[in-house]
Amino acid sequence: MNIDIVKEEISSLLNREIMLRVSANRSKKCLIKGIVTGIYPRHFTVLVNDGTRSFTYADVAIGEVIIYNK
């Protein structure tokens, strides 16, 4: 997937609630529910219960982070 397409899709989710599946290590994955709060040139931020987490567009492009819209 092209990073420019990923940026556009995530930009459209600004201030919206999303669900993320994040690959933590080889076989461990975690689900995170939060609100997209920031769009930056190389990453985006998500407000979750315990603070703010950031993710790169490259991680989304290669499938390490999968976004499910609400």
DSSP string, 11-54: HTTTTSEEEEEEE-SSS-EEEEEEEEEEE-SSEEEEEETTEEEE
pLDDT at 40: 96
Reported as a single tens digit per residue, the pLDDT across 33-45 is 999 999 999 999 9
| Per-domain residue ranges of the chain | 3-69
Fold of domain 3-69:
SH3 type barrels. (2.30.30)
Residue 70 has pLDDT above 70, yes or no: no
pLDDT of the residue at 1: 72
Mind listing the pLDDT tens digit for each residue in 17-69? 999 999 977 788 999 999 999 999 999 999 999 899 999 999 999 999 999 97
